[in-house]
Amino acid sequence: MGLLTGKRAIVTGAASGIGRAAALLFAREGAAVTLADLNADGGQAVVEAIQAQGGTALFVHCDLTRSEDCQHAVERTVAVCGGLDILFNNAGIILRSTVLDTSEEQWDRVMAINVKSIFLLSKFAIPHMERVGGGVIINTASGWGLVGGRRAVSYCASKGAVVNMTRAMALDHGDKNIRVNCICPGDTDTPMLSSEAQQLGLQAEEFLADAADRPLQRIGKPDDIAQAALYLASDAASFVTGTALVVDGGGLAG
């Protein structure tokens, strides 16, 4: 018996990086997993990998900034899987720029993907969780949701919003047995991290070496973050809600 046997989960941004690792791990632990992403080829490849290991998965093409797409992802999951127990709001983007360098359109896009998507999916997911007696929502925030970072003003603002949104949702829905937590990863080996070096005009090797300058002397792996999500999704965290779990190799320790 896996830690999530019999559970039904949605993972956003599941075609690559942390989302991919979490979808694979949740499926190995017994959950039926819906992968919500714009990347159909990548998402379908993860579905096939899950099915090859004997798991249950489906892909839903989803623009997470659109209400109708988010509603469809939830309703499709409920129709195919019979309900919804876990929502992992993981999708996100990063823009490395200051207030002066950020256009209004860029600001709106970061906020839409990193914050509005959580609002929309949670809005449609929570009523289904209430009907089955509870559920779990996990949001991907960031270490930069707890402290500031240079040349990342829209990202820091969005992830700070995710942290406090998580707390507010935990207060609002705890009486319905819905736990809401967020994970604050440090630099993790994903396509998003590689894009940062490019945005900053740095060599990838130099950027990654700097990112690894933390007590554990390495950057994170997607599975490091997926394991934290598994903990929060499972009954092992049955008394954990409203928290921001830092998973960063000690980067914020001092």
Neighbours of 2 (CB within 10 A): 16
In order of 148, 171, 187, 209, 211, the CA distances from 217 in angstroms are: 21, 36, 12, 9, 9
Residue 155 to residues 103, 107, 108, 114: CA-CA distances in angstroms? 13, 9, 11, 8
- The answer to whether 56 touches 50, Cβ cutoff 8 Å, is yes
Q: Which of 26, 88, 124, 155 is catalytic?
A: 155
Q: Which helix (H) or strand (E) holds 202?
A: none
Catalytic annotation present for 155: yes
> Encoding tokens for residue 148?
């500031």
Sign of CA dihedral 14, 157, 177, 246: positive
In angstroms, the CA 165 to CA 179 distance is 13
Torsion of CA 108, 110, 113, 114, to 10 degrees: -120
Q: Residue 190 phi/psi, 5° resolution?
A: -135, 170
Active site residues: 155
